[in-house]
Structure 1
Amino acid sequence: MSLLDRARSTLPTPATSREPRDWLQLAIAAGYGAVGAITLGLVLIVPVMAAWAADPHSTTSWTDALSFSGDGWALAHRGHVAVAAGASHSVTFAPLVLTALAVVFARMAAKAMLTHLSGRSGAWWEGPSSYILGYVVAGLVITGLALSGPAHPNLVTVLPGAIVVGAAGCAWALLRSDEPVAEQAKTFVDDHLSLSTRRALRPATQGVLGYLGIGAVIVLVLAVTHASQVGELNGQLQPGILGGVVLWVGQLAALPNLALWAGGWATGASVQLGAVSVGSTSVHGGVLPMIPVLGAVPGAGPLPTGTNLAPLLPVLLGCFVGHRALSNLTTYASLKTKVVTAAQAAGLTALIVLVLSWLSTAGVSGGSLDYIGPSLLIVPLLVVELLLGALVATLFLHWKRALRR
C-alpha cells in the first residue's frame, strides 16, 4: 500500500449518524429566550407603574397602565402601536437606547443558555434557533397581552424587530463565549466565510461607531446653537417635575435615532420630519410636534454655506474603514486582496448602518408625521461614499508602500 493510501486510511471518517435531538434541552433553550424577552417587559413595568402611581389626576386603571409596558416592548422592537382599537393612527418609534437594552438582556439570557447546552450533542444551531424562537414567541405574548389596554400593538409588525434583536443578542453571546456550542458556531463561520470577510468585521464595527460619532457631533452642534429654542419649547410645555423627567428620559433614549438621522443627512440624503424636509443646502418648513429637542432643527430657508460639503464626511469615514481594513494585511499583500478586504469592510459598514437606520425611523400614520427619518436616497449614497473612500485609501496606501520597496 502506498504512503498516500496509508495517509488516507488514517483520516477520520465523518459520522453518518446523529444522536436524536434532546427536545428537553431545546425547550429549555427556548425558555431562556423567553426570559430574555420578559426581562425587558419587567424593567418597563417599573417606570410605567411609578408614573401612574405618582399622577393624582390619572383616570387610567392599574391594569391599563400595566399594559403600557407591553406597548413599550413593541415600540422598542419597532412595532406599530395603534392609539385605540380600530384607529387609523398608529405610532412607530423605537428609542434605540431601549432597543440596545433589549439586545443586552437578550445577550445575558443567551449566555446562560449556552452554558446549559455545554454538554449536548447535535448540530450547533439547534440551541440558538430554539432560543430565538422562544424570544420571539414570548415577545408576541407580551405585546398580545397589551391588547387589553387602551393602545393596541400590531403583532405582525413586531415580528421582524423581535427576530433581529433576539438574533443579535444570541450572536453576541456566541461571539464572546468559550462554550462548545459557541466554538462550533465560530468554526462554522470560519469554514463558510472567506478570510477577507472575517478581516473586514472589526473595521466595519469601527466604521459604524464612526458613523454614529459623526451624527452625534452634528446633533450636539445643533443643540448648542439652538439651545434657546429648545429651552423655549420646554417652557411652553410646562411638563412639571415628573412629566419633565419622563420627557427628557424619552428624548435621551432617542439620541441614537437623532445621530443616525444626522448621519443620513451627512450623506446628502434629505431627512424627513413629517412635513419638514432638511436637505443638504436648505430646509423646507412645516409644522413639528412640540418636542423640545426638535427645537434644534434649523428654520426654513437656506442652510449656512459649506453644508453642501457634508457628503465628504462619509467619504472620509470610508477612508478610515479602508485604512483599518488594511492594517491587518502584510505589506506584500496583492492589490486585489487589499481592494476586496477594504470593499467588504465598507460594504458591511453600510449594511449595518442601513439596518440601524431602518430601526431608527419613526412616524404617525394618517397625518403629516407619517415618516420621520432619512430618505431612501441614503441607500445608494452611503454605499457609494463608503466604497469610494475605502478604495481611495487602499490605492493610496498601496502606492505609498510600493514606493518604499
Structure 2
Amino acid sequence: MSPLKSWFNIPHGSHFSLANIPFGIISTASSTSPRVAVAVGDHALDLDAFAANNGFSALSTIQPHQAVFSQPSLNSFAALGRPVHSVVRKYIQSVFAEDTPYPEVLKTNSALQKQALLPLKEVKYHLPFKIGDYTDFFAGYHHAYHCGVMFRGPEDALQPNYKHLPVGYHGRASSVVVSGTPIHRPQGQFLENPADGKKVPIFSQCRKLDFELELGAFVCTPNEQGKPVSIDEAENNLFGIVMMNDWSARDIQAWEYVPLGPFNAKNFGTSISPWVVLIEALEPFKVAGIENDAETLPYLKHKSKENVFDIQLQVDLKTSAGNSATLAKTSGRNLMWSFSQMLTHHSITGCNLQPGDLLGSGTISGTVMAERGSMLEQSDNGKNSVKIADEERKFLQDGDEVTFTGVCGADDDALVGFGQCTGRILPAVDLGL
C-alpha cells in the first residue's frame, strides 16, 4: 500500500507519518496549560486550539465531546471508546492529506496553522494519562528464560506457571514519569555479598541499577467490577501503546522479592514515551509472538496466532563522558503473551480496570546477546562488562542516559513510530545517614 501523501511537510523518515497520528499531552511557554495534541512529522497539532477554531466542523461525531481536547490528560478522550478514536484519527489524516476534502479547515487556513501547528522542539511533554493503576507483566519469554537460567539453571529456568498465565505484579502508578524526567539512584536493603552465605543486609545506594526494555498499553474502556473481559473483546478495551523503561534495582530486588515479588526495587521510577500510538495504527504490523508449547486455557486463547506487534526496538546508552553505544536491538514479536491476554487475565477474577490504567509487557529480549533488553542479561548479573567506547559497564552509573526508540514499517514515508523514551540517572539523595 502506498504511503499517504500530505500537503504538509513531513520529513522523510519521521516516526510520525500520516500512517501514525499518535496522541499525547503538551504545553508551550506561551500556553502553559497541558492539553491534547497529535504528532504530525516534526510538529504537534494542538487539538484544543484546532477544536476551538472549528477544526472539527466536518466531523459531527466528536463535536459534542470537543471539551476532551482541553483536558490535561487523555483519560476523557480515551473513555469515548475505540470507534471514536478511529474516526478522529481518520479525520485528522484526511485534513492533512494532499487531496484533502476539507482544505478550508487547515490547508488554506494560515491563521489556524500558525496557532495550532507547533514545532515539537518548542513543546513540553506531560504524562499522557492520569494513571490510576499500573500492572507490570513478565511476558518477554527470552528475558524470563535468560534470568531463570542465571538464578536457577536451565532445567528450572521457567516457573511451572509461566506458560499457563501472564505473570504480573502490581506496580507503582505515582512514580511513572514522562520521557526526559531524570531518575535518582534508589537506596535500600540488600546483601552486600550474597556468595558468602550471610543473610544480614546492609543499607546503601543501589549498586546494580538497571533498565528494562518494555512496551506499555493503556486501557480505554472500563469493565464493571465482577465482570471479566473476554479475550475476543479485550483489544477493544485498549487505547494504544507506549515504550516503557521499568528501571530496576537488581540488588534490592534479589533480597526483597521472596515471597511476594518486587517492591522497592521497582517503585522509584518508570519512564514512558510521550506519544501513545493507537492500536489501530499498529494493526498492519501484527505478527505471531513466541509460540507457547503448553496448552493455553480456553479463556486465554486467541482465534488468531497474530496478536503481538512487530515493533523494532532499540536501546542506546550515553555516558556522562559523552561516549555512546547501541546496547540492544530487538522486536515486540518476542512476547509470549499479548496485551489482550494480559487484560483478560487481569480481569478474570472480576477486577475492574479503568481508563488510563497501564499494563507493562515485561522486558523484551531476543535470543542473542545483542537482543537482550536489560543490563542484568547483558552482564550476566555483573560477571561481565559491557563496552561503551573506552568505558565499561556492568550496571548503570550516575550520569548515564538511556534512550529507547521504537518504530514499525520499512517505508520511510509511512513509518509508525514512538519517538524516544529517555531517562538520565542522577545521584542518590543524601539522607545524612
What's the TM-score bracket when you normalise by the shorter of the two chains? under 0.3
Higher relative contact order (CA 8 A, sep 6+): 2
Higher strand share goes to which structure? 2
Q: Which has the larger radius of gyration?
A: 1
Task: Give the TM-score of the pair, scaled to structure 2.
Answer: 0.19
Q: Which has the higher helix share?
A: 1
